[in-house]
Amino acid sequence: MIGLSVYNVKGQLVATLDDGFKGSGQHSVIWDGKDSKARILPSGVYLIRLKLGERFITSKKVTLWQ
């Protein structure tokens, strides 16, 4: 099971981009800068977290400019 989530700098979950099962191989996800309720998020720094099974593989800072 994989999960790709977006958090604000306060550590609050703002969007879930992908959650489920994927076959092996390369995959991509596009984030439109909106939260889980389709509201446009303000410009700022967000953290992207990838979860594979029970392990968090990476966390990246993303600067969003709206």
Give the DSSP letter string of 13-59: EEEEEEEE---SS-------SB-TTSPBPPSEEEEEEEEETTEEEEE
Domain span at residue 50 reads 2-64
Check residue 8 and give its pLDDT: 94
* Tally of domains in the chain: 1
β-bridge mates for residue 2, sequence order: 20, 52
Mean pLDDT for each 10-residue chunk of the chain (66 residues)?
90 88 82 94 92 81 81
pTM of the model: 0.79
Distance CA 50, CA 35 (A): 17
Q: Pairing mode, if any, of strands 13-20 and 44-52?
A: unpaired
- Which domain CATH number covers 30? 2.60.40.4070
Contact 18, 62 (CB under 8 A): no
